[in-house]
Amino acid sequence: MKSRFVAYYDYGMGGVILFVYAREPSEITQKYPELSILSSLPAWVTPEHEAKIGNARTFDIDATPTGFLEALVHERTKR
């Protein structure tokens, strides 16, 4: 059974929060090593911000990467 995990991509001057449905956190970091898993949302994330994140950046670990994750994989393969 999958759970929703809070993932974070740190790009140096800030970061991106996203949600990933997976069976366990290690499944996410194995597929996307650029991401860190947070134990909870940061305190500064308001309910409105959480809804925006959920609408734009929620992914399933088994799905083909789209949007932000697609760009992340693309950048990784360019190196």
pLDDT at position 10, please? 94
In sequence order, what are the residues at sequence separation of 6 or more whose Cβ sits closer than 8 angstroms to the Cβ of residue 25? Answer: 5, 37
Query: Does pTM surpass 0.85?
Result: yes
**Residue 47 to residue 29: CA distance in whole angstroms:** 26
Sheet architecture: strand order including 58-60: 36-38, 3-10, 15-22, 58-60
| Residues in the chain where the model's pLDDT stays below 50 | none
pLDDT at position 14, please? 87
